Structure 1
Amino acid sequence: MRPMRITIWHLLAGLGALSAPVAHAHGGFAETHSFTQRRGHPEDQWMGFTQGALLSRDSGRTWRWVCAEAMGYGSWMPESFVWRAEGSLLAATGTALLHSRDEGCTWSTAPGFEDAWVTGLAAHPTDDAVFYLSTGRPSMVNALYRSEDGGGTWTPTALRREAVFSAVRVAPSDPQRLYVSGWKGYAQYVFRSDDAGETWTEWPLPLEGAYDLKLLAVSPARPDVVWARVSSLGASGVPRQSVLRSEDGGRTFAPALEQDDLLVNLDVSEDGRTVWVATYNHLFRSQEGEAFTRLSEPNGNACVTHSGGVLHACGSTWSNDWELARSTDEGTTWTPVFSLREIQGVHQCPSGTPVQTLCSARWPQLAEQLGVSSANPGGGDAGVPDAGTVGNPPKSEGCGAAPGIGGWALWSLLAMLWRRRTAHALK
């Protein structure tokens, strides 16, 4: 089935003009959307999932489920995760910051952001305790916050504006260099600090007709090289998303890739010579500064992460027959890691934790949906300490968070119209 991009873009155009995060609820199609490794422990892997998250403790050989109900994120699906070396997990949802201190068994909502939208989360490249968080609720003063205790407490930096902050990035080669993207109305901005947030320089970008500017990555090799995403209306009136590149520390940007497919994320090799862009349907690669070319796989549900010389990409169990694959030749060939049909059951947590209680009861239904023929129902004691109760994220607001087209209906429509499917995926 060919994607009906024009139809869905018209829906997204109305949402984008509201300058608010798009809400995604769990349910409907089962797909992954992000890949994260634990710092210093590459065998521990975590994938964002439309029905919660998936966890592997053995380099991807086996995977288990953490249901959305146990995480408590409501209708705002986490866009990014960080798994600290000491074991705790953080997730930015677009409205709340979620925190698990027992490796995913129990989740709570970080206090202090009830009236703000948590739009960005970035980790210090070498200090496991230092994080930065941006807020982006329209029509209010937003700020960039810093934590020095692993996300336990947060202090505002000097960056405060009556503007929507969409993302924060830290330069891997220079932790003092911070970037924040944002906008106010149709005016797009990049903010830069060279002293870890003490002082800031602001650059308005002359991007006529553009909206929804979001920083994607900073080169690991060169702190002045930055990539961003921006939306705009094409000549036919259909919105498009473009990847922009800056070589002067965010002062100016030039187009690098334009697509009528929604952009998911971008990653860069450690030497900065290769760049990958993932869209909902495809993966693109640029080597040595050349133009981006589309890779043969994945065909549907792409995401991309490069670490330690290995490239990981999301795929679609329903079109690629794999949900995660790895590549050691920068994406030319792929080795499948797992498909959704191979999930072993629920993440093994102590009795009484939200994952053990809530997810075990829901696993049979998900297993049937995925076509899992035999699986451990999970939920047993994994030997981690008992934890407290799960928190509830702040109630989502705005039309993007409302039931119906603004919530899961939109996500389901995206999946139906955009992702290539085989017939058995709908059974």
Structure 2
Amino acid sequence: MIHTLASFGRRPASLAALAAATLLSASPALYAHGAPPRARQAFALTDPGGGDVLWALSTNFGVMSQSAPSRYICEEAFEAGETYLMLPFASDLWVSLGEDRVALSEPDCQIEVVHTYALPPVDADHRPATGEVMVALADATGAQLHYSADAGRTWRPLEVDLSDLRPTGVRFVGEGQVALSAFRTPDARRGEAVVAHLDVRSAAPTLNLFELPADRRYPYLLDAAEGQLLWHAQGPEAQEVYWSALSALPAPGAPVFELDAWPAAGALSTDGERAWLSGSDASPGIFTAERAAIGQQAPELWHELPSEHHARCLTPTAKGLLICGHRATDGFDLALLDEDGEVEPLVDFRELRGPQSTCRNADDTANLCQAVWPELARGLGIDPDVFDDEATDAGDITDAGDIPDAADAGQAGEPGCAQAGGSIGARWWGLIAIALLSARRRRR
């Protein structure tokens, strides 16, 4: 159920108009989110029981985690809008940085809007160990930085001067320490690359700017750790990837890794001693480098891992790299890649069983997730009706014959975010929910 601290921009609509929009727009050919389902970012979570690192995954249709690998929470439940970023602090605690609001998910699919802002998010980062979250907001009218020190529960805008800067990336480089990539916006200098440092613990935070050579433009931070930055910028002839300390940004002639297009992803180890990079779609490959070799000149600095896969996201863990793939070409949407190039598939969206069963008591969330699940399922080639409402998230998929009869009293509308059965009333409200969502089809 979504709880809001206030009512934010609700637009009334007539029931008849909603019903008409539903009947006219509903089509199995339409994706529920405007694009084929894909993984966006993987995260490594600390197991509270002291075991192996757990994974969590943000997608363009919601979020999921290792605690329920065949279930998800639909992104519509967060009311995130067309532009959103998701950051996990635990398998059941997500911070949603939406188009105009921050929402938190709690156990049992309870979702609460805790903060609002006027600009869309550009990039965000978090430090689970300290509970810090930073989001960079920007559009053509301006830019802001908002900060939370308590895992996204309370927020404050930072009073820093971003008047002629357009942020492109933000990363924590230590506790209370933030690095920001941006480009100049005045016409005479538009696109010029800037990297900045910010101490958010200061009573009056200010940006310490590092001007980069004028022929380096439109920079973007890929990752940061222990004062080390992995970033890229548009160079005179190619996209240039740099790995450098914040205190010693590269001078002209420093080692670079050149690509013909933006890299798909990049990551640093938590100690900042090792880096990984995934090439562009046109030049795929997963590359790695070690800090001890930074004195060498490229290409010795970077070498390619023995993998046939192209990673759309990279997240290092103690056992290897979490990589985002595509089920059609890689056979997985999330996998673990080891040093020898061996892949352990972890997630295939074609094996989804629907929204999390812990949503069963969250009526508003359940209605939204129930409404969009059939379209998502059909887009993945899944029969949305073939699962057991009574099963746990780790349970087995049942045969269609085991689906509760919609006419059986007490079955329709009970456990599970997405019911196979349901009364006519429940189906009607599901159609209305789809109509509400059809006005904001995704282009992701």
TM score, norm. by length of structure 1: 0.69
CA distance in structure 2 between the aligned counterparts of 1:181 and 1:205, rounded to whole angstroms: 11
Change (3 A) 1:187 1:318: same
Distance 1:63 1:146 in 2: 33
Aligned match for 2:220, one of 193, 214, 228 = 214
Please state how far the C-alpha of 1:91 moved relative to its aligned partner. 2.9
Listed one character per residue, the Cα deviations across residues 179-206 of structure 1 (whole Å, up to 9, x for unaligned) are 1121222222111135745344212211
1:227-376 equivalence runs, <5 A: 227-231=230-234, 234=237, 241-249=239-247, 251-252=249-250, 254=254, 256-279=256-279, 281=281, 282-288=284-290, 289=293, 290-297=300-307, 299-300=309-310, 302-329=312-339, 332-348=341-357, 349-372=359-382, 375-376=386-387
- Compute the displacement of 1:57 (Å): 0.5
Find the partner of 1:170 among 137, 154, 172: 172
Q: Give the secondary-structure state (helix, strand or coil) at the position aligned to 2:374.
A: helix
Find out whether 1:33 has 2:31 as its counterpart.
no
How far, CA to CA, are the matches of 2:199 and 2:94 in structure 1?
28
Counterpart of 1:8 in structure 2 is: none
SS state of the match for residue 329, structure 2? coil
Q: Is the 8 A contact 2:230 2:267 kept in 1?
A: no
Read off the aligned partner of 2:123 and give its amino acid letter: G
Q: Which amino acid aligns with 2:122?
A: T
| Deviation (angstroms), 1:344 | 2.2
In structure 1, C-alpha distance between the alignment counterparts of 2:73 and 2:35, rounded to whole Å: 16
> Structure 1 segments of 4 or more deviating over 6 A?
none
Whole-angstrom distance in 2 between the partners of 1:103 and 1:283: 38
Q: Which structure 1 residue ranges, 5 or more long, are not aligned?
A: 1-23, 235-239, 384-401, 412-427
Equivalent residue, structure 2, for 1:120: 123
Residue identity matched to 1:156: P
CA distance in 1, matches of 2:314, 2:41: 8
Is this contact kept in 2: 1:300–1:316, CA < 8 A? no
| Matches of 1:321 and 1:87, distance apart in 2 | 27
Instruction: Tell me which moved more, 48-57 or 34-43.
Output: 34-43
Q: What RMSD, in angstroms, separates the aligned Cα atoms of the two structures?
A: 3.4
Aligned to 1:423: none
Structure 1 residue 312 displacement after superposition:
0.8
Alignment partner of 1:68 out of 54, 59, 75: 75
Aligned residues of 2:216 and 2:233 also touching (Cα < 8 A): no
For residue 313 of structure 1, give the secondary structure of its aligned residue in structure 2. strand
CA distance, structure 1, for counterparts of residue 54 and residue 370 of structure 2 = 22
What is the DSSP-based 3-state SS (H/G/I as helix, E as strand, rest coil) of the residue aligned with 2:360?
A: coil
Matched residues, number: 345
| Residue type at the aligned position of 2:156 | T
Contact residue 87 and residue 126 of structure 2 kept, 8 A: yes
Cα shift at 1:357: 1.3
**1:171-229 residue CA offsets vs partner (Å, 9 max, x unmatched):** 2xx42432112122222211113574534421221141622x22222234xx2x21112
Are the equivalent residues in 2 in contact too, given 1:280–1:302 (CA < 8 A)?
Answer: no
Which runs of 5 or more structure 2 residues have no equivalent in the other structure?
Answer: 1-30, 186-190, 294-299, 390-412, 418-438
**How far, CA to CA, are the matches of 2:232 and 2:101 in structure 1?**
23
Partner of 2:103: 99
| 1:280–1:188 Cα change, 3 Å | closer
Higher relative contact order (CA 8 A, sep 6+): 1
Q: Cα offset for 1:34?
A: 1.0
- By how many angstroms is 1:284 displaced? 2.0
Secondary structure at the aligned position of 1:84 is classed as strand
Q: Which residue of 2 aligns with 1:57?
A: 67
Q: Residues 51 and 260 (structure 1 numbering): CA distance in 2 closer, same or farther, change over 3 Å?
A: farther
Q: After the TM superposition, which of the residue ranges 278-287 and 335-344 deviates more from structure 2?
A: 278-287
Q: How far did 1:296 drift?
A: 4.9
Q: Tell me if the contact between 2:100 and 2:116 (Cα under 8 Å) persists in the aligned partners.
A: no
Moved more, 271-280 or 183-192: 271-280
**Pick aligned residue for 1:134 from 136, 140, 143:** 136
Contact kept in structure 2, 1:351 and 1:357, CA below 8 Å: no
Q: Is this contact kept in 1: 2:126–2:133, CA < 8 A?
A: yes
Per-residue CA deviation, residues 273-328 of structure 1 (Å, 9 max, x unaligned), is 43112356444222323433444545346211113343211111000111111134
Identical-residue share of aligned pairs (%): 19
Distance of aligned partners of 1:252 and 1:75 in 2 relative to their CA distance in 1, 3 Å threshold:
same
In 2: Cα distance, 1:242 partner to 1:48 partner = 27
Q: Which residue does 2:208 correspond to in 1?
A: 201
The alignment partner of 2:80 has SS state of coil
TM-aligned CA deviation for residue 271 of structure 1: 4.2
Q: Once the 2 structures are TM-superposed, how far is the Cα of residue 343 of structure 1 from its aligned partner?
A: 1.3
Choose 1 or 2 for highest CA Rg.
Answer: 2
For 1:25 and 1:363, the matched residues in 2 are separated by: 8
2:239–2:261: 8 Å Cα contact kept in structure 1?
A: yes
Question: In the alignment, residue 231 of structure 1 is paired with which amino acid?
Answer: Q
TM-score, normalised to structure 2, is 0.67
Contact kept in structure 1, 2:288 and 2:305, CA below 8 Å: no
